[in-house]
Amino acid sequence: MTAEIISTGAFVPEKTVTNDDLSGIMDTNDEWIRTRTGIGERHIADEEFPNDEKAFVLALKACERALNNASEKAKTEKTASFKDRSDIDMIIVGTSTPDFSFPATACRLQEALGIENAAAFDISLACTGFIAALSTADAYIRAGVYKNILVVGVDVLSRLIDWSDRGTAVLFGDGAGAAVVSASDSESGVIKTVLHSAGSGAKALYSKSMYFNEDEKAGMSMDGKKVYDFAVRKTPEVIREAVESINCDDVKYYVLHQANIRIIEAVSKRLKEPMEKFPHNIGRYGNTSAASIPIMLDELEREGRLKKGDLICLAGFGAGLAYGAVLLKF
Ligand code: COA
């Protein structure tokens, strides 16, 4: 029994903030941001979204898309376990910027989606949140406990951004991505998951809980160089661990967390794998934290770049310092 991703969905808010917009409010410029990070613009959940619904609404829209895509697929293809959303028996949300301390974002989604009797909870692992959620879903399905799991990555990093700190403000954007993961006895599905935390570096990238300071942004603290060095060292390591049972030539895409194009290029170089195997959309979204991997996956799916049987390796890294990878057959 494997855990197969049968559909994806993603959503980003309409409002974009370009590098030129940022250079109007802080001492930065398009050229610096593009050359150092590859980012051109990012989507921001502005006043259009009530403050206590930002993560919820972005996630809900991504989930609706993923569930509708799964239902459509179930009509034409033989999907072993999923027929419609009433089959969802677990919802796992990776997020570090929930609207509420409780209930879990997953429980709010469950209610809004009309899914009864499912287990639902959130996982907080920052930019590695989707990898952690997908690994958890894989474990439950492999153990035969649940059959259809909605796995979500959503973050609203803009609510933490201190717009006077050019060192961090230019990097992040808001968004959500979701995947329906189903028990399958076909060839497709997760082959291996790997999840690690370094056990050091917790202060290299952090944001205090929002309730520490109700009136101001919680703000973010980042040692950019330390995080960069960690990412380019550990991401190739964890990918090698995930793909050890197969030939790397057979991997079609490495879908990395979209934090910085230079990190992606460095990982490509260290793995001696061509950049064509590393799809990226950071130029349009910035770093959307737990959402970046499912947004990228959804984009590949919608562009018809994923074919049945393709081997894909997902890899995430970030605050913790945590990192992980999932090798799967599409
Ligand atoms: N615009 C213009 N100049 C900026 C700037 C900005 N937005 N941010 C920093 N600078 C300046 C710095 O103040 C510094 O100026 P100085 O030399 O006069 O002191 C100069 O640019 C170089 O800064 P530095 O921090 O050395 O740049 P860098 O090449 O290391 O790039 C990051 C900075 C943040 C892009 C890079 O360290 C990085 O990507 N780190 C990983 C961050 C990350 O991905 N975090 C999330 C992980 S999930």
Whether residues 110 and 238 fall in one domain? no
Q: Which residues contact ligand 1 via a Cβ below 6 A?
A: 28, 32-33, 36-37, 127, 166-167, 170, 222, 224-225, 227-228, 259-260, 287, 318
Same structural domain, 127 and 160? yes
Span from the CA of 36 to the centroid of ligand 1 (angstroms): 7
- Measured between alpha carbons, how far is 6 from 118 in angstroms, rounded to an integer? 19
Burial degree of 24 (CB within 10 A; 0-12, 13-18, 19+): exposed
Number of domains composing the chain: 2
Residue 166 and residue 240 in one domain: no
| Predicted local confidence at residue 98, as pLDDT | 96
Predicted local confidence at residue 182, as pLDDT: 96
Given a cut of 90, is residue 291 above it in pLDDT?
yes
What's the CA gap between 179 and 152, in Å, rounded?
6
Q: pTM here?
A: 0.96
Residue bearing the CA closest to ligand 1, atom 48: 318
DSSP secondary structure of 102-116: SS-HHHHHHHHHT--
Percent of the chain with pLDDT strictly greater than 70: 97
Average pLDDT value for residue range 315-319: 98
Same domain, 20 and 159: yes
Q: Using CA positions, which residue lies closest to atom 31 of ligand 1?
A: 36
Is the same domain home to 182 and 194?
Answer: no
If asked whether residues 214 and 98 sit together in one domain, one would say no
Nearest-atom number in ligand 1 for the CA of 170 is: 7
- Residue 211 CB: number of other CB atoms within 10 A? 8
pLDDT of 215 reads 57
If asked whether residues 125 and 214 sit together in one domain, one would say no
- Do 204 and 305 fall within a single domain? yes
Select from 157, 186, 215 the last residue of a domain.
Answer: 186
Q: How confident is the model at residue 314 (pLDDT cuts 50, 70, 90)?
A: very high
Closest Cα to atom 42 of ligand 1? 224
Continuous H helices in 77-223: 105-113, 129-142, 166-169
For residue 251, the model assigns a pLDDT of: 97
Q: In the predicted model, is pLDDT for residue 209 greater than 90? A: no
pLDDT at 187: 87
Residue 216: the pLDDT is: 60
Nearest CA to ligand 1 atom 26: 225
Whether 166 has a pLDDT exceeding 80, the answer reads yes
310's tokens: 């393709």
**203 CA → ligand 1 middle, Å:** 17
Indicate which atom in ligand 1 lies nearest the CA of residue 126. 48
The pLDDT assigned to 236 comes to 98
Q: Do residue 170 and residue 221 come from a single domain?
A: no
The pLDDT of residue 76: 85
For the chain, the first-to-last Cα distance in angstroms comes to 15
- Final residue before a domain boundary, out of 150, 165, 186: 186
| Catalytic residue list contains 63 | no
Instruction: Note the pLDDT tens digit of each residue in 210-234.
Output: 766 655 656 789 999 999 999 999 9
Active-site option among 43, 69, 287, 313: 287
pLDDT of 129 over the 90 cut: yes
pLDDT at 80 (0 to 100): 67
Rounded Cα distance between 109 and 113, Å, is: 6
- Beta-carbon contacts of 247 under 8 Å, excluding residues fewer than 6 positions away, are none
Ligand 1 geometric centre to CA of 197 (Å):
24
Residue 162 has pLDDT above 90, yes or no: no
Cα 32 to its chain centre, rounded Å, is 25
Q: Tell me, in angstroms, the distance from the centre of ligand 1 to residue 157's CA.
A: 18
Average pLDDT, integer, range 186-207: 95
**pLDDT tens, residue by residue, 63-105:** 999 999 999 998 888 766 899 999 999 999 999 999 999 999 9
**Residues 175-189: tens digit of each pLDDT:** 999 999 999 998 899
Which of 18, 36, 229 to mutate to test ligand 1, by most ligand atoms within 8 A of the CB atom? Answer: 36
Q: Are residues 158 and 202 in the same domain?
A: no
CATH number, domain with residue 180: 3.40.47.10
Ligand 1: centre distance to CA 276 (Å): 26
**Ligand 1 centroid to residue 170 C-alpha, Å:** 10
- Structure confidence at residue 61 as a pLDDT band (50, 70, 90): very high
Catalytic residue selected from 19, 127, 260, 280 = 127
Q: Give the residue, by CA position, lying nearest to ligand 1 atom 9.
A: 167
- Give per-residue pLDDT as tens, 234-268: 999 999 999 999 988 899 999 999 999 999 999 99
Asked about 127 being catalytic, the answer comes back as yes
pLDDT at 217: 59
In tens, the pLDDT along 300-312 reads: 999 999 999 999 9
Active-site position among 43, 63, 257, 313: 257
19 and 167 housed in the same domain: yes
> Quick one: 203 and 180 in the same domain?
no
| pLDDT value, residue 34 | 98
Domain ends where: 143, 166, 186?
186
- Nearest residue (CA) to ligand 1, atom 30: 225
Mean pLDDT of the chain: 95
Strand partners, 91: 120, 150
Nearest CA to ligand 1 atom 7: 166
Does the structure show a pLDDT above 70 at 109?
A: yes
Per cent of the chain over pLDDT 90 is 88
| Domain carrying residue 171 | 2-186
